[in-house]
Chains A and B, each alone.
Chain A
């Protein structure tokens, strides 16, 4: 997969590129509007991550150009302004998703993967990790093709883990992914343990021991 990250803050851009790049994904960068515009014109990307406030122009204008060119590129808008109008404007213009600063890299990754899943046609709604298989259409999980019963949150959690496999996820990252704005209604994330432990128990009983504890309070989904 080929991504374009258009973000004018170099540190943030580097962190995103670093997080998203792996054997399967290539990340290209654009530091300003003109560079992004040029790259979008010359090359085809699967996903473009566009900051609205690029120094020399608006990410929304890039989005408009992309749509005018009819390119089949998924677009995720990054904004420093979490106003509903901006969000709606971005989505109306054809963005596939919208994320507000500050965001977790794991969250951005999960949004990108979700856009990719939605945009790939048929037959590809399965996510496979060793003996685990998630059917994203029916939102069911299978271990060795045996369905395991998960709650809505447990399913979301498992999907998030698989999407960010091999990465260290703190409780805050997980809580914000699963509960969004609701997560900051409470002071501590102890409630996360319950859901993670339940999921871990269900997977482990089927022999899928992939949820590892990292550094005491974090988690990592990995085949070791």
Chain B
């Protein structure tokens, strides 16, 4: 479905008002024009007819009436003709111009003589009156609309103000906070109902969120004791004198499973703690030093080579423990997924840290790589939480993590780099 274009409420209301007004103005202007025009035309025709009657009347007593060009013309005629009306252009010597006249022309037998009587009236005057009327009408109506438009707009703005205020409060509402949402009271019934619904929903969400968080924490902690018991029993089992090799293999596999569960649990607790803002210590941390330290630790655990590029000092204000976790998770992710014997590239810039490991092709769901329990491939032992912890830490401090895949330029092989970048500053 195509996304609808979003317009602010007040603008939308103003726009509707404006469009309606313009349509109304045009229609009424046109209607007024034609109505006035026909009125004026009738008026002229009435006048012409009555003038012609007067001329005929005069001709009965005095057949020698002079023409008054171009307004009255009398001529003897042999043809009989009915009254006919038409527009005509005639040169008016008085004004030295060709003007538009309305002309009534017809023959009449007066005292036995057939006269052709033509009377004319200037149209220009009525045209001007017509334009003046329409112009004044439009002017008044435009003024009225402008006035109404601003009145309407300020009235609307005032009317919707509580709605906008509350919208801003809903936007800044934080589900993680313990504070209930405070909405401005309104004397408009629907707004009041909306407020109540929103308050109800948000408090429900807050309670659910707290319960969920509490649940995660409780489960995570409660699970530790049974895990400890299982692990202790396995170790007791290891030292049973008549243990067979098969049993040992089974027990140590169980031990690995417990370790996985323990790691998963530990990470869930960590995520919960970050969400609870339990890391409040802030220090100026040198990311360079942390990375050097971590890669140093890794040298004892893996043969993977780390190539550190760039020595721009990268200093970030954050909790030292979280800084450690952030870098460790990124590096261990790279170590886990890199192609064997391919170095991990670590690059520092003044604003960001880039960690790249060799890979065959771009991840299928690149956008989900930082999500919880996202797993690509079949790394059986991964908890699927390492990168989501990275994301959570980034969210906590406003860093922006990103993933991209870069093809290796100088290689014909099907190989490139998975590049994870953390921008600490914008």
Contact = CB atoms under 8 A, between A and B. Distances in A.
Answer whether A and B are interacting partners: yes
Interface of A: 9, 11-12, 15-16, 18-19, 53, 80-84, 100-106, 153, 167-173, 176, 179, 182-188, 191, 195, 214-218
Interface in B232-265: 232-233, 235-236, 238-239, 243, 245, 248-249, 252, 255-256, 258-259, 262-263
B225 A218 contact: no
Interface size range on B against A:
35 or more
Contacts of A214: 248
Contacts of B256: 172
Contacts of B297: 179, 182
B90 to A, nearest CB: 106
Given A172-B256, A186-B301, A19 B321 contact: no
A170 B255 contact: yes
B407 interface: no
Nearest to B234: A170
A102 B227 contact: yes
Nearest to A100: B224
A191 B303 CA distance: 9
A101 B258 CA distance: 12
B236 A105 contact: yes
Interface of B: 221-222, 224-225, 227-233, 235-236, 238-239, 243, 245, 248-249, 252, 255-256, 258-259, 262-263, 266, 269, 273, 278, 297-298, 300-302, 321, 328, 332, 335-336, 379-382
Given A15-B229, A81-B221, A187-B379, A216 B266 contact: no
A8 to B, nearest CB: 9
Nearest to B298: A185
Contact of B238 (A184, A188, A218): A218
The 7 closest A-B pairs by CB, nearest first: A215-B248, A15-B232, A101-B228, A102-B228, A185-B332, A102-B227, A80-B224
Contacts of A184: 259, 263
A16 B232 contact: yes
Contacts of B332: 185-186
Contact of A191 (B269, B301, B382): B301
B244 to A, nearest CB: 8
A11 B238 CA distance: 16
B224 A104 contact: no
A217 B330 CA distance: 30
A186 B335 contact: yes
A191 B228 CA distance: 25
B301 A179 contact: yes
A9 to B, nearest CB: 6
A214 B230 CA distance: 21
A15 to B, nearest CB: 4
Contacts of A215: 243, 245, 248-249
A42 to B, nearest CB: 27
Listed residue (B235, B239, B332) with the most chain A CB atoms within 10 angstroms of its CB: B235
